[in-house]
Amino acid sequence: MPMIGPLAIAAAAGIAGYTYAAMAPASQLFGRTIVAGRDPNEFALTFDDGPNGQYTEQLLELLARHEVRATFFLIGKYARQQPKLARAIRAAGHRVGNHTMSHPWLLLASPRRVHEELAGCNAALEDALGEPVRLMRPPHGARRPDVLRAARELGLAPVLWNVMGFDWRPTATAARIMEHLEGGIARNRRRGRGSNLLLHDGGHLTLGADRSQSVEAARMLLDRYPPATVRYVTVDVWRESCAGTMDKNCR
């Protein structure tokens, strides 16, 4: 049986390292991103892939009842189709971020396509909202150094996450989504970190995706961790509080 040579080992290690840098939400190897702050009692509720009709509307009603502000990363083509709903999100006091025009894998896109996706989404959101957008989340979390550079050239701060509800899975139930959220929160608390919670109010494949289980999981989360016991923030708070620091818990 042939031995694996040092070049093959080095190549495998290089591929693994690149994959981690490009895809791991906590990785800062390709450039700094907002993940979470240093207070384990700070939570940021974030929702991707909207706006999405009734499910986004249900979330807005739920968040209003609890007086919680969240961050919504919107797909540009959906915002073009539902500008009134995009405005309703912002009018309710939530932050709106760029989630590209059509939700491609930016890791695999040409630099020109990356710029078009980000700039196009910026234009769609700013047309709907009447104000600049300052946050961006790359679809799937996939990025390269030039993706992050393009975002910053457009005035966008890249945002990742450190808790995923896995609500995009077809078999996801509210109870199972909640299990994922609680597990991630417990892990972050052990590490002395805030929790940046990723859920979805839409689906990138089609407008009108069923997100009823995500809405129910958000309700369960707010019942389990009411605002009286934790502080819900929008992710731009972490951008400001972490500015200029190299604290490993503030990234």
What type of residue is 167? D
Contact 68, 227 (CB under 8 A): yes
Separation CA 97–CA 133 (nearest Å):
6
Is residue 48 part of the annotated active site? The answer reads yes
Separation CA 33–CA 49 (nearest Å):
20
**CB-count exposure of residue 6 (10 Å: 0-12, 13-18, 19+):** exposed
Among 163, 166, 74, residue whose Cα is nearest residue 122: 74
Catalytic residue among 94, 103, 180, 200: 200
- In the chain, the DSSP E strands lie at 42-50, 71-74, 95-98, 135-136, 157-158, 163-164, 195-200, 231-232
Catalytic residue among 48, 49, 167, 201: 48
| Residues catalogued as catalytic | 48, 200
